[in-house]
Chains A and B, each alone.
Chain A
Amino acid sequence: MTPVVEISGLEVSYQTDAPARRPVLRGLDLVIGAGELVALLGPNGSGKTTLLRAIAGSLRRDAGRVALFGRDLNEWSSVALARRVAVLPQSLVLPDGFRVAELVEMGRAPHATRWFGSSAEDAEAVQRALADAGALDLAERHADELSGGERQRVLVAMALAQGPELLLLDEPTLHLDIAHQASLLATVARLRARRGLTVIAVLHDLNLAAAHALRATVLDSGRVVADGDPESVLRLELIRRVFGVAVDEARTVDGRRFLVPHARPEIGTEPSAAGTRITR
């Protein structure tokens, strides 16, 4: 089976005020297969969001190759890409005045065949997307009336309306409360199963990743330093080395593992393999 995402030697850097560009991804390799649920983890500045954006095709690459569904990103038109790849943004901002149904319909834009109005296929896709995202009851509401959690559901529906095979999530839990965080990721996992999606999510919360992801890819200074199932990847030593914080692990009654920073985490510099870094 063709891997969904194939990255080799990816280098991305940002233009700053300094004469030299600041490198973010330094020769990164990664392969993600169909149906995987991957959490991209790493400290601030490690490049995980940049990596996601590179996969989404929103960044210029300095070097290296990114291929989606077997085809080099350079050969994809933005419309063709939008038909198969959906991005769930970080922000919960939605334009005023639209009804939820109309917003979700915008997700059909890459597939739009009729110039004016929607086809039966579009209408059905919108219906299904709303249902799958648990947002059917919101369909006639206006975007500005919604709470954070409701907006998240709408955004999920909008992404699903695109009928994607690959779903990219950019720190989707940033603005959500604990209940909605869990609910979102559970939904995503469920959808992965039901729609056969491949999901790549940038997460900052290690425990969430451990609870929901099937694979954890840890980045540090623009390179992959660990990759595999969350249980084996998120070892204390790695976390201390990469994130610069000492954590303890614990188990819930039913055996789920979670990580907790030390009672008084050191705030200051911590030596690590990649050089000096300031801990959170």
Chain B
Amino acid sequence: MTPRRSRILPLLVIGLLAACARTPAASSPPSGAPASTSVASASPSSAFPLVLTDDAGREVAIEAEPDAIVSLAPSNTEIVCALDACDRLVGVTDFDDYPPEVADVDRVVTMAQVDVEAIVAAEPDLVLAAGNELTSTTIINQLTDLRLPVLVLYPESIAEVMADIELVAAAIGREDAATALVGAMEGRVEAVEAAVADLEQPRTFYEVSVFEGTIYTAGEGSFLASLIETAGGEPITGDALSTSIALEDLVAADPELILLGDATYDTSITPETVAERDGWGTMTAVADRRVVVVAEDVVITRPGPRIVDGLEALARAIHPDAVAE
């Protein structure tokens, strides 16, 4: 062993240790499982300061009621506006399109590139990020290192969306609005569930996109899959991580109903063009002409307050006779 080598090992170790030893700027490590959201509040009128646990299991301290909010995902923006706090938004993404008032708010995320300088310049006291790398971990760390309170939201079911609405409400002091909103949502969900209760569940394939021969759909165990189930369908799912499904597997699964989510954005995708695709003709759904254009993909896939609109749209598409407009 040359002298060089024996010097490398300690350097390697130091490098590794130093890189791993990042001191968190937020407070102590949280307790509880990552998926749970526990809202800690001092009193029903949610006095500040308070500490909340977000969807990533992080404990976030909020000193006072925030009046400058940055949202890093359209779903988060919709939650804030649904809680009647739209005027507090100081930064949103360029994908945010609802409600219309949002058009006047400064964009701090362009083409999925987060402009940290712009966020800092907006002087927010709350940042709502998206989990599962929709907002990259790097950005979340950077913002936290700058001592900005960052709440990471990542709901994977309607119930979790409602919990997130309550979480955000606690964070911005709008609990009453949340209670009303969540109550209404629950009512509509129950109505859908009742409507489809005893109906036969068709094997349903939701086409998210087809790109260069790869078919993207609802991943196994995903939010979209659970939505389809709640809407009274039996979802055909793809790989949990890549959300793709091989054509062979799709043909083997033989969907009875195909929902064209991508038709929302691309009018060239129609039941006719789908029927013409190689290998798709053998599917029951194509043979029975049960290929449906979906125009509500945005609300179906955006985990915000309008998710119930999405659920209803799905239920109408799967059971058009049972679910009223």
Is there a contact between chains A and B in the complex with CB atoms less than 8 Å apart? no
